[in-house]
Structure 1
């Protein structure tokens, strides 16, 4: 089996978290068969450079192909992807009809790849035991030394604790706390941790990659907080990850970037809510502040989220309103204390989270899922 060549064929949406998913699975397949050469095929619109921080990845293939829209020339888009492999393992989503209905470009890519790719041994899906796989391993990105050095220069390493804050992900702004709500959070953290250093991370550029759903005025309000946050917005991805790596906690609502934060070893404190719950798997402590399901309905997933008017802050999903944020400030500070102190074991965080998530779903465990089915070990 030495020298066996495997392609992790993981063409999906561009958020950073899906690139982390692909690399996490690639590592599990690489560890299972010593000497195996594992390559990855990724949507070119995602953070493909993350693969360069994973020594177990032999090659990375950037797939220039639409995801949301149909593609009339899919076959030509795969011309640079080698055809012959021993194993090809696909993203499991390619076998979910709903995904093809929602994302015609994904459908066209996998249809073309079925013709283009040839597997001498077999074709399967990521995580399949028969393809050789070690589940529930820890993925750790090896960031460039110059990015780490830049982060040290940017931060005041004499101040503690250090908290990296990403105020929003890449979805609609209504699915994240408003700038006014974040100012309440920053006030609470500044009062609880005198001398705390806040580092603001995110991306304002609007292109094929994901960006943060926070406008310039909102960002300016956060920059002006009395805690004097360090502005790390729009730094190169490696430098932002190095800043997060140098912090004690990463604070954010649901965002794929949170999975990258875990992959540099920083605990994630998630202000959970909106359409998606978190699916933990990377052996780093965390806390998800799950909303009260009766007052703040959440987790509609592919269905539209309920939207209400949140005073002068505009439309918000209920779990991201000022009232919800204010109600959970004490919980947020308590969770931050746990993570800063390093007193929360990963396995305990998993057990408590999945128990709470089951309760939020009214005891319906069929509504839950996680990478590597980690949740099944804790229900």
Structure 2
């Protein structure tokens, strides 16, 4: 009988957390390719991503509150088979800060304890006992119609740079439209023949929306580089646009994890609350801010907010001054990612010492999925 494992990964809905779950599926599958790997995800997550992951045999969308308590699940888990050989939970279920911050998370895992049984064992994702190979490469196999649509939209430009101006967090955690105009100026001056693509989501839904409004988008679409508007396309087509491009440029966002999962280098205007922690055998650059002038990486604590002149409230690392100072670094990193001169190994070797320095030498503040950073400190 084929062994069956469930990666039980109910968490917040942004796309990056779905990619995390699929990464763990990949690691467990790599350890035992004869095993069937299924995944359970928050229904507000883009669950369809699981269908693009060859390691996953089935996906279950869990319609359960995340922020609000729900002590009586009322059959919300009935769609998940009860019996498995292994049940592998998101490790966050054992973190007090997660359970107190997100009562729905607490109640979901309590309900799953009652609903699920495991013949061989129940543990957390990446458990060696369940068979796991760390630091595998996750690669999504996108639908061909999405790739065809993306190719038609992008045209025959040999170089393409995708820019996502903001993620789903509050707008002060991202550069302002005025800062992005400076970035587009610098990119267009350095790469005049490259097609610049703007990506995001204006339409608000249960899943997510980019905290970048219509007026701000219109100002960037009017840029002299004549960007292609790929806002609000279906997710598969947006990912296909990224896959067909040489660089994905953004502040920290979960969509960056998805960019790496389609094999496209991620160039991050790093700062705000979270540093980059997912590494997928694809070259990358994180432009880290000066920690003395632009404090960042508060994680679960609120980010410091300042008034950045006409741009209004902004975290220091996303102010106009910081973006202006780092334009040359952005252009240089974009060049080395587009021409293939930066290897993945070199990117890792450069990033982690710089990240420790950004934490004022405190290596204990650093973490990464699969502990990749431990090999480089």
TM-score bin (small chain) = over 0.9
Deviation at 1:195, TM superposition (A): 1.6
- Secondary structure in 2 matching 1:343: coil
List aligned pairs for 1:254-265, cutoff 5 A: 254-265=252-263
Q: Secondary structure at the match of 1:296?
A: coil
Quick one: distance in 2 between partners of 1:321 and 1:74? 44
**Cα shift at 1:34:** 2.7
Counterpart in the other structure of 2:169: 171
Q: Name the counterpart of 2:108.
A: 109
TM-superposed deviation, 1:313 = 1.1
Displacement of 1:75: 4.7
Cα distance in 2 for residues equivalent to 1:82 and 1:75: 16
- Does the residue aligned with 2:185 lie in a helix, a strand or coil? helix
What aligned pairs does 1:324-363 form with structure 2 within 5 A after superposition?
A: 324-363=322-361
| Alpha-carbon shift at residue 72 of structure 1 (Å) | 3.8
Partners of 2:56 and 2:23 lie apart in 1 by 11
Given that residues 6 and 86 in structure 1 are in contact (C-alpha distance below 8 angstroms), is that contact kept between their aligned partners in structure 2?
yes
TM-score by length of 1: 0.98
2: CA distance, partners of 1:48 / 1:360 = 35
CA distance in 2, matches of 1:196, 1:11: 40
Aligned to 2:2: 3
Q: Which residue does the alignment assign to 1:53?
A: 52
Note the C-alpha offset of 1:160. 3.6
C-alpha distance in 1 between matches for 2:269 and 2:171 = 15
2:313 paired with 1:318? no
Aligned to 1:373: 371
Q: Paired residues, what number?
A: 377
Counterpart Cα distance in 2 of 1:135 and 1:195: 39
- Alignment-derived partner of residue 92 in structure 2: 93
Preserved contact between residue 280 and residue 350 of structure 1 (Cα < 8 Å) = no
- Alpha-carbon separation, structure 1, partners of 2:368 and 2:27: 16
Which of the numbers 206, 209, 212 marks the counterpart of 1:208?
A: 206
CA contact (8 A) 1:75 1:112 kept: no
Q: Are the aligned partners of 1:163 and 1:250 in contact in 2 as well (CA < 8 Å)?
A: yes
RMSD of aligned residue pairs (Cα, Å): 0.8
Q: Which runs of 5+ in 2 are unaligned?
A: none
1:156 is the counterpart of 2:155: yes
* Residue deviations 1:148-200 (CA, integer Å, cap 9, x gap): 0001100122x242100100000000000000100000000000111221111
Normalised TM-score (structure 2): 0.99
**1:69 counterpart = 2:68:** yes
Which consecutive segments of 4 or more residues in structure 1 shift more than 4 A? none
Q: Which structure 1 residue ranges, 5 or more long, are not aligned?
A: none
Any idea what SS the aligned residue of 1:287 has? strand
Instruction: Give, in whole Å, the separation in 2 of the partners of 1:355 and 1:3.
Output: 44
Is the 1:89–1:124 contact (alpha carbons within 8 Å) kept by the matching residues of 2?
Answer: yes
Correspondence for 1:81 = 80
In 2, distance between residues paired with 1:289 and 1:180? 19
SS in 2 for 1:232: strand
